[in-house]
Each structure stands twice: as structure tokens, then as C-alpha cells.
Amino acid sequence: MPETLVLLHGFGGTHRTWDRVIEQLDPQRYRPLALDLPGHGAAASQPRPITFEACVDAVLAAGPERFAVCGYSMGGRIALHVALAAPERVGRLVLVSSSPGIEDPHDRARRRAADDALADELERSPFEDFIERWSAQPAFAEDPAEVVELARADQRRNEPRALAAAMRGLGTGTMESLWGRLGELEMPVTIVVGERDGKFRALAERFVRLAPGSELLAIAGGHRLTFESPTELARAIDRPTPAPEQGGAARV
């Protein structure tokens, strides 16, 4: 029987983020279940405020009794919350271009202020202006033109006021750090980062030192791996996960 693979997109995306990855997954091995997270796509009308707890509830309600979960960026942070909240439900965890949050409370407060400013911009400025500003971030500076256009098209499937609510409730500045809980993870964990994504590769290298049974895979690409490297990402998702006493880094 195929393994149910719950797929969680990043901020400003939708379930369509995963289209090109799903095309590369073996349907005999996987039953992909790509969700629209609260505040995004078809879930734009999620009751306010939007919280990590509400996202966990939504994922657990949508998934079967046991499943694998794979999250990109913000979706990875939600996937990590799901794995910690219901380890008996999660057979394995795949985190793509993601992190366990910001440890330093002062840094977290500064990030929250920046997130709130972005949410305000979403509510008062033309949506296209926000989309352009989002793509201008340093993390996306070297993205190929096709990747930029795919990301913009996915963002346009959203409603800006709903995204503002999601930013306020699910931003990295709002999230409590989970670095101290990585040792609780009971399932195999695969962390996938792009070779150009230096910031998140450094975070992932620290992650695998703290989480038993975790493995870091670096693949060609930047931060937006679902759009830039779908074949390589599908291969990373399909890679056998390490036993708890193993772990480390590899390139696929």
C-alpha cells in the first residue's frame, strides 16, 4: 500500500507548490496529500487568529492514522510541530529549506516586528508590490527566472489579507524556538537544503547534531527547491532514512 505523504508549502504558497515534485514521485510508493495551510489558497477563510496549534490540528485532521510529512520553509516548521505533537502519527519527517526557529528572544522580537510590518504592507499595499518585494529577498537573489515566475504564480493564488493573518500567526518571529526539543524526535528525519542556501545549510548542519536519526542532504539549487529542483527533491524524499544511531550529511 502506498505511503501517505503529507506535503506542506511555505509562506505565500499553496498546495500547488508541490506539483512538480509530485510528478516525480512513484505513485506505487506514495500517496501525495498536498494541503493548503490556514490563511493560504482554499484555506484563506481559516478562523482568526491563525496559530501553529490550528495548523497542527488541520494536518492531523487531513492525514490518515499514520503518515510521512514533508514541509518546505514555513511548512517545515509546521511539520516539525506536527511531529513533536503527535509522534505516534508521523512515520518520518522531511524538512526542506527550514529551521526550528530563532533561539535568542531579542532576535525573535526583532523578527516579529519585521513580520508585523510585512503583514501591514499586505493589508495596505497592492499585492503585486508585495510579491515583487518578497522575490527581492537575498535568499532568492540567484533564482533562475523560471523559478521566480513559478513562485509568483503560486503567490497570486492567495488573498493578501489572509496572508497577513498567516504572517502574524506563523512568522518565525511569533514561533517559539524548537531547538531544545529536537532530541524528542522519535522518527527518522531527513533535512534537505539547496547548495546555494548557505544560511539554511548551516542551520541544518546544527540540526543533525542535535536530532538522533536525522540526515542532511544537500542538493543543487537555492531556497525554493520545490520549483528549482523538483527531481532532486523527489529523490531526496525517496531516499532511505538513517537508523537512529546513524545520521550525518550527504549529497544526492
CA dihedral 179, 183, 51, 98 (to 10 degrees): 60
CA–CA distance, 18 with 230 (Å, rounded to integer)? 8
CA–CA distance, 57 with 51 (Å, rounded to integer)? 10
- Residue 115: predicted pLDDT: 96
3-251: CATH homologous superfamily?
Alpha/Beta hydrolase fold, catalytic domain (3.40.50.1820)
Evaluate if pTM is beyond 0.85.
yes
Spans of all domains in the chain: 3-251
- Residue 125: predicted pLDDT: 95
CA–CA distance, 199 with 97 (Å, rounded to integer)? 9
Kindly give the parts of the chain with pLDDT less than 70: 240-252
- Residue 247: predicted pLDDT: 52
DSSP code of residue 184: G
